[in-house]
Structures are given as structure tokens and as C-alpha cells.
Structure 1
């Protein structure tokens, strides 16, 4: 085959048996040479051959279980872009870096719906979500079906967490349940649209037929659980919604448990056999990672690493 023949990124993905997203990521980082004709990206056969030759030296560095994973021609350099905000994802990334030191693992601290959108648009390849559907009572599956049409995905559980209200130490305003959201005289601090906590709140309001306009502070938004808890600790709000773990990290805050949620990992089914993703599952099922997450407190690990569904 002549060296000057060129391919589109989609054709390269089929040749290398990797995702189209991975091809674009390799080109962006300079690991795979490419050029443009107008708005079209092209890759020459010689550059594909060179990339394959370069990756061969990386295979011996993989663990035995990774080498044996079904990955015919798969990429061994691109690593993962992991979306989510929970601290246990930082720990997961650290374990991945130790297990596969030649790969790159990047974090994007974005909410659940933004993560699913990034997966759909090819801007991420492993995302987390805790999106509750008020009609079915199910977590994540209804949203994956709606937001990734035509894309086969797999969903594995990471942990279960408790969502509830952050209140001032001693709970001086006696805040206890969802109807307190519309109690006169209370100031609330909200999460941003698209976050799992915001979806839970809005779904609960819909089910309880409570109008957001009646909540003082509904339009006051923060982009993390810690930020919400900090606003309460500083006296800028009487309460806010978030996970139990954040309450233990902010002095002067108590936690009122309300709703147990499932926090899942979601990625494309086509990537399941790649070493990167097999490494993730291996870590989730390892004693070392489980012990580390258990030591953090505030998490239920009873289903960690179990497959929830294929969608």
C-alpha cells in the first residue's frame, strides 16, 4: 500500500480498532501526525504505521491482566479523561497512574449532565453521574438513554452516597425535610443546573408540587458540594443540598440525611475491552482501593465495581 494514501479519523479508528474520540485526542496531543484540507482532517498510512511502531514499546509495561485483556490493536497511550467532582475520583486516578504509569489520566470537574454531554460529543470517555428520575425512581439509566441516543454504553456502580441538607452546627432553624425549602424566613443556596444535586432537588420539587419561586435563594448557585457547605458555615445561607462527605470537611456544619443516591461510572461499550477501562474495573474491585475509600468515610461500597446495566 503506498505511504501517501490518507484516511479520515473515522477510517483510522476502524483500522486501529479504537474510538473516533481517541483518534482526535492522539492528533491533538501530537502522538499521531495529521494534516488538514480545508476543514477536513487526514492521516497518512505512513504516520499510522509510525504510531503503531511507537506504541509497541509500551505494551510490556502493562500489568499481566492488562496484556491479557481483549484489545486487538487497541491504543495503549491515550489514557482517560475522567469527568466528575467526587474526591474518590482523585484516588482512582492515582491508582490508575500507578498501575499504568505510561498512560495519561486527566480529570474534568464537571457535573453529571455536563459529563454525559461530554461523553456524547466525544470530549470525555469515562464520566460519573448521580441523576435521579422522579417518575421511575431510577438513577442514571433514563438520562443515559435520553442524552446518548444511538450510543451503546455500560454503567458500573462506583459508590452509594447520602444526599441531604447542610445546616449550621446544632441546626438552630430545626430544618428536617424537603417541605422546609419553602418555609418563610429560610435562606437556601443551590447547585448549578445539570449537577446531580440540582436534578434531585428539582425532581423532588416537581413530585411534591413545590414552586421554586417560593424558595428564597433558589437562584443562588455554587458549583460544588464544598462551596455550598461553606456558604452555610459562613452564615450566608441557612441550608443547602449536597453529599454527606462534604459536611465532614467543613467546620461548623451539620448534615440532615434525606436521600440515598447511586453514583455510577459510565462509558462507551466499545471501549470495555481496552486496557484503560479494564484497569478501572480492576481497581474498583481491589482491596487497596476499597480500603482507601472506606477510610474516607461517608460512602457505601456494597456494589462498587458491579455492572448496573448496558444501555
Structure 2
């Protein structure tokens, strides 16, 4: 068995001192060759060394002007950003009916949307609550993707709320309850949909963040927050219902969030958009999602908004 060293995407980003999204973009462009171990992508150490040496010795070469036909040719790799397992299923379906290879970034909603603005993501999943309108996603997309044509399409809806210990011993039922001194909170990272939901609700209910014991403690996924509650590290956290059932803790539903996808409407993405729309409206895909439980597919495939 080979004993050659390999790195995860996160380890590569740390070694190169760049963001994970930058690494995903290099993979997408074919500059960093990867292989999969289960759902995880890895990079051989020798390939990373080769890339570094190539960058050291490379000269600046003007990029060729691409013809319209070349610009429309699909990239072999596309990046889907978000954490829900449904995105893995979407990626699998895309690969089954097209030549695309899907790469996964597990970055939060807001940072993923910014990455799309910068050209680093192809499909971004969003669940960002806007407290002023009571709407999900569109207010943020309109502000961030300024000057970009795009389509916002529904993937599913799901319950968001509190993770609490079995039996909910502290009787945490509403947003005001997490401001009690004896309640230890575990937060999500800045830019995640769960963090945006929390901060908007705190603003609406006029609850100072200084009143939330543990507001500064962050985890980077729904499962890690649910696990922190399960192991007693915290009393409560915010996330989606599916993670609570996986970990085996109680869940207090507070809001049904709309979980959407956004794709830029560019000539290069014409085929990708048609493929995604075809998958989302198919009965086979919707049945597969519905069978997972805790997901509402009644709006799946509905175009929420698109620019002219």
C-alpha cells in the first residue's frame, strides 16, 4: 500500500495561506488534481509541490481571447457551496446526466454568495433571513450580486429552531429565553444562515448580544452545534431539524426557512441552469428528498426570482 502523503482541502488552504474557496477554484480550473476518499477530496503532496514549483517558475502570459463557442463550453468541474446533504444528492444527479464533475464547498450562505460574486462558486445554497421584510435570501442576493444576472430557485423548505437537551430541562421556547443568565449558548460562524437568523431575531426582539452567555463560542456546522448541546458543552444552539434527529436531542421549531439555490445567468451557465431545473422538478429527485424526512418539497424547482 502506498504511504505517500496527501492533504485535505482545508490542509491545503492552510499550507498555501489562502481560503478554502480559493483552493476549490484551483481544483475547478484543473490546476490542483484531487482524488476522493468517500465524500472527502484529497490532494497528493507531490502534486501540491508540483503546483508550487510551477508557480515559482511561471512567467506572466497573456490570456487568449476565447470565442463565443469556447465561452459556452461547460467547465468540467463546478463548485456547489453549502452544507445540507441534499446538495450531495443534487451533485450526484448532475453528474449522472451531464459531463460536469461536482466539487463541494461547505462554506456558509453569506460567504458563499460573496464567493459567487467573485467568480469562485457555480451553485450557491442560501438560507438567510431578512428581519425587515420577513423574506428569505432575495434581499441579500439583490444587494450582493449587483450587476450580475442570476436566477434564484427553490431547493426545499425546512424547519429551523433551537437544539436543546432531551426533555428541554431549561424550558427554552422562544428567543427571549436564550438571554437568561443560566442558559449557555453555542453559536454558528459569521456569514452562516443560522448566525444571520439569530442576529436578526436578536435585533428584532431587542436582545443585546452581551446578554447571551456563549455568543462568542462558534461552531461551523449544524451537526457540530447539535453535538455541543448533546455532550453538555452548551444548553442551546440554533440550527435545522435534521441535525437534531441525527444527534438525538430535542428540537424546538421556530421558523420554516426557504432554502434556495442561486446560479448566475451567463452564457457559460446556460446548460447548467437547464440541468439543475430539470433535476429539481423531476419526481424522482423530489421523492428522494422527501424520503429523507424533515424536508418540504412543495416549492422545489419554483423560480423565486430571476433578472431579465
Structure 2 length-normalised TM: 0.78
Instruction: Determine whether 1:281 maps to 2:277.
Output: yes
In structure 2, the residue matched to 1:59 is: none
Alignment match of 1:169 (pick from 146, 166, 172): 166
Alignment match of 2:257 (pick from 258, 261, 264): 261
Deviations 1:186-219 (A, max 9, x none): 1010000000010010001011110000000100
The answer to whether the Cα contact below 8 Å between 1:83 and 1:124 also exists between their aligned partners in 2 is yes
Q: Counterparts of 1:273 and 1:120 in 2: how far apart (Å)?
A: 14
Give the aligned length.
Answer: 260
3-state SS of 2:182 partner: coil
Deviations 1:66-105 (A, max 9, x none): xxxxxxx7213434211111110011111111112x3211
The answer to whether the Cα contact below 8 Å between 2:72 and 2:268 also exists between their aligned partners in 1 is no
The answer to whether the Cα contact below 8 Å between 2:74 and 2:269 also exists between their aligned partners in 1 is no
In structure 2, the residue matched to 1:107 is: 104
Pair 1:116–1:271, CA change in 2 (3 A): farther
In structure 1, the residue matched to 2:292 is: 296
The answer to whether the Cα contact below 8 Å between 1:120 and 1:148 also exists between their aligned partners in 2 is yes
Q: Counterparts of 1:271 and 1:236 in 2: how far apart (Å)?
A: 49
3-state SS of 1:42 partner: coil
- Consecutive unaligned residues of structure 2, counting only runs of 5 or more, are 1-24, 34-57
In structure 1, the residue matched to 2:180 is: 183
Deviations 1:217-276 (A, max 9, x none): 10010000000000000011011000011111102x100000111110001122586222
Equivalent residues in 2 for 1:39-58 (5 A)?
41-43=62-64
Equivalent residues in 2 for 1:1-311 (5 A)?
26=29, 28=31, 38=60, 41-43=62-64, 74-100=72-98, 102-251=99-248, 253-271=249-267, 274-311=270-307
- Consecutive unaligned residues of structure 1, counting only runs of 5 or more, are 1-21, 31-35, 53-72
State which drifts further: 84-93 or 264-273.
Answer: 264-273
Pair 1:307–1:90, CA change in 2 (3 A): same
Q: Counterparts of 1:161 and 1:282 in 2: how far apart (Å)?
A: 22
Shift in Å, 1:26: 4.7
The answer to whether the Cα contact below 8 Å between 1:271 and 1:277 also exists between their aligned partners in 2 is no
Name the larger-Rg structure: 1
The answer to whether the Cα contact below 8 Å between 2:28 and 2:77 also exists between their aligned partners in 1 is no
Shift in Å, 1:149: 1.4
**CA RMSD of superposed structures (Å):** 2.6
The answer to whether the Cα contact below 8 Å between 2:72 and 2:267 also exists between their aligned partners in 1 is no
Shift in Å, 1:138: 1.3
Shift in Å, 1:277: 2.2
Shift in Å, 1:279: 1.2
Q: Counterparts of 1:271 and 1:80 in 2: how far apart (Å)?
A: 15
